[in-house]
Structure 1
């Protein structure tokens, strides 16, 4: 009898759209990594009695950072974009778990840009809504994406960036 081993893989898929009025100017569809901090949190909350995080938020970043597994909320490696009108990071309003995935497909996160950040290189899920914060005690950096297909450029005042995130789990036997 063959001995089988199974592993769980956690990943993320991002759809980021750049809108001006009713016209979509650009779209990026990317997959990227879940940092160690997020994986440790998932294991802790699921299997070790850790405190679940019930609210997640989306942030954008404005420098060309390649995410690595050791990035954390306190030291993400990127510069967060704060060039949008909203006073806090938009909520990631998830649709519930189905088929080993969870997404905000029916309620995308939206950023109404103020024209100060003309280029966006990536995005992340985080557990704190404070725009520009890296010091919130216990905050977690969730899945992170760099737009490897090219940054979103030419962003002007009142353009809207829409972000859809799907976090998946899979058996990797």
Structure 2
């Protein structure tokens, strides 16, 4: 069996919005896999909790500064974070709809949720093909409703790092406080 190789680069979407997470904050990297985002966020100075069910993938994060790991079955086991809140939550290429209420409740006031995954249409280009693992058009916007301030939302076809086509939906939201986007300047008075 071929050894899994962890992706080296973090998602450009997560790189773009990570600076909005409160400085020195604690971040949850949900369904982190080999931890490409956990590593990136830790390098930015965040304290990262990386959770996944794959113990082998989590083992690659042992010894990474500012990263703690938790092996947990997010779909079949209990939610491990009922008593915790995070300044940032990052989810990439993972969808388990029953977790949305827990994810939203685990985001601290002023915290930032950066979420991206596949949506309907992806089955034309490859996996995942199961509708349970594909967002419906606009679904993330519907889910956040009026609870959060939407910073950015995108959906549709993109060119993946390998040159292939993917159909993605992604959102960045903040709970509470007003948002100032990176590299934005207020209009002159």
**Bin of the TM-score, shorter chain as denominator length:** under 0.3
TM-score (ref. length: structure 2): 0.23
The structure in which a higher percent of residues are strand is 1
The structure in which a higher percent of residues are helix is 2
TM-score (ref. length: structure 1): 0.24
